[in-house]
Amino acid sequence: MAAVISGLGVALPPSAVQDELWDGFFARHYAGRRRGLAKRIFANSGVVTRQAAVSPLVEDVSAWSTERRMRRYQTEAPPLGRAAVERALAGAGLAASELGLFAVCSCTGYATPGLDIVLARDLGMSPNVQRLFIGHMGCYAALPGLGTVSDFVVARDRPALLLCAELTSLHMQPADATVPDVEQIVSHALFSDAAAAAVLTPASRALPGYEVRDIAAVTDNTTAGHMTWEVTDLGFRMGLSAEVPAVLSLHVRGLVEDLLKRNRLSIGEVDGWALHPGGPKILDVVQERLGRDDQALAASRGVLSAYGNCSSPTVLLVLDALRRRPRPPRYVVVLAFGPGLTLYGALLEFSTVAA
């Protein structure tokens, strides 16, 4: 028994050019002595374009209360999530009513009834569909979500769907005129909005797609404060230590080697790498530790350039780019990183014939 990713769907809000975001908003947001530092960070972010459901070129949300931001989340997230889910279902050739489990990952907005309930209702899922909401796990949430959904498919022999939807644009922070606040500048330069959905089906009735072979994780509890996401009266505030790449450097090769060893593979046999593009330094460190060439990380750097860091949907965007290649890679290692400090990995294998 195995679970196969039979359909992937992506939905994006309107896009903006990074330079235009700088010139049209952030150059004023970071005035005085911080402007030069902020401009360098934006220029070196690796981001060329990114998306925002609430664009700072149209609305400055930095002074909004958390309540106002959450109400906007309830307006913007459902149609974005619905579009991604519909595309994934169409790719898998399934109706929403056939799903046995619907799991949603989101750390940028909360409401009850949430996205899982609203979309299950609006898309016509069965009243008996099981639902799971995965919140506040940050950028790596897609992988524990993928593991849980694939386990359900294998155990119950029924299709399931995972949706990752994030609206980071709602959490623009006010500029503090007294401190450089490098962490906020970095997050404002990198983060973006997106939704991505994956339909998983039993291999016995799956279309060609990626079989979920294995999931692995490691958490370095000694560095828990290096990456934070705190609820404040002015939205959710990112904490992002400059030490994050160094911590990843300590753990990423061991995680990947252990994942591959128990599946009788080596790093050299992996021909596809879907790395969460948390930023250029993170990609540089992981590339160096794994001994991969520039081509191996081309899809991850391409997603960072075109879409920015969209938090939990981002690795699914990279996987979507890999599967659309004329010759999709056979083995794909998916890696994502987030609060904890946590590293998650998944091994996928392309399957063209139903089991």
Segments making up each domain of the chain, as ranges? 3-205, 209-351
The amino acid sitting at 30 is Y
pTM assigned to the model: 0.96
- Consecutive H or E run containing 323: helix 314-323
CB atoms within 10 A of CB 127: 7
pLDDT at 179: 57
Q: DSSP 3-state helix, strand, coil percentages of the chain (rounded to 5)?
A: 45, 25, 30
Question: Which residues participate in catalysis according to the annotation?
Answer: 139
Q: Dump strand ranges (E) for 220-262.
A: 227-232, 235-240
CB distance 3 to 154 below 8 Å: yes
pLDDT at 355: 43
Q: How many CA atoms lie within 13 A of 238 on its CB side?
A: 27
Class of the CATH domain delimited by 3-205: alpha beta
| Fold for the domain defined by 209-351 | Peroxisomal Thiolase; Chain A, domain 1 (3.40.47)
- Consecutive H or E run containing 133: strand 130-135
pLDDT at 204: 85
pLDDT at 34: 81
- Consecutive H or E run containing 86: helix 66-92
Chain-centre distance for alpha carbon 297: 16
pLDDT at 1: 80
Q: Each residue of 184-193: b (16+ CB within 10 Å) or e?
A: bbbbbbbbbb
Residue pLDDT tens, the chain, 355 long: 899 999 999 999 999 999 999 999 999 999 877 899 999 999 999 999 999 999 999 999 999 999 999 999 999 999 999 999 999 999 999 999 999 999 999 999 999 999 999 999 999 999 999 999 999 999 999 999 999 999 999 999 999 999 999 999 999 999 875 555 889 999 999 999 999 999 999 998 878 899 999 999 999 999 999 999 999 999 999 999 999 999 999 999 999 999 999 999 999 999 999 999 999 999 999 999 999 999 999 999 999 999 999 999 999 999 999 999 999 999 999 999 999 999 999 999 998 754 4
CB distance 164 to 146 below 8 Å: no
CB distance 317 to 307 below 8 Å: yes
CB distance 52 to 18 below 8 Å: no
Assigned token pair, 295: 């081509």
Chain-centre distance for alpha carbon 75: 21
CB distance 304 to 44 below 8 Å: no
d(CA 252, CA 72): 37
Is-same-fold flag (3-205; 209-351)?
Answer: yes
CB distance 165 to 115 below 8 Å: yes
In the chain, what is the straight-line distance between the N-terminal and C-terminal CA atoms, in Å?
Answer: 8
